[in-house]
Amino acid sequence: MQPAGVLVTPWSNSRRAGEIDLRRLLAQENLHPYRWSNGAHDVYGAHTHPYDKVIYVVSGSITFTLPDFGKQLELRPGDRLDLPRGTVHSAVVGPQGVVCLEAHH
């Protein structure tokens, strides 16, 4: 069981996702992303946020864990995660590190 509103949308275009493409998609939703990155195998402990979060992976990979639901969500370039406020989550960055675009609403 996944909490309502948590959604992973895999990149489905035949060409590789580029940062400009992902920024354009977010702009279409009137979202204003910022860019962040982490090195290989960096870890974020379990936490929540008081806002809804949208994340697109630009490069690399990251696996989010939803401990309350026993779910792991692996994201690769172009993949999108919609994470509702208050959802407990942790994350582990993949072996090549990760670059993401993140916006809040």
| pLDDT value of residue 2 | 53
Q: How many CA atoms lie within 13 A of 70 on its CB side?
A: 1
Question: Rounded CA gap, 32 and 98, in Å?
Answer: 19
Question: Rounded CA gap, 57 and 35, in Å?
Answer: 10
- 7-104 CATH fold: Jelly Rolls (2.60.120)
| pLDDT value of residue 3 | 64
Domain boundaries, the chain: 7-104
For the chain, state the CA radius of gyration.
13
Low-confidence ranges of the chain (pLDDT < 70): 1-4
List pLDDT tens digits, range 62-72.
Answer: 999 999 999 99
What is the value of pTM for the model shown? 0.92
Structure tokens at 21: 């493409």
Q: Is 16 helix (H, G, I), strand (E, B) or coil?
A: coil
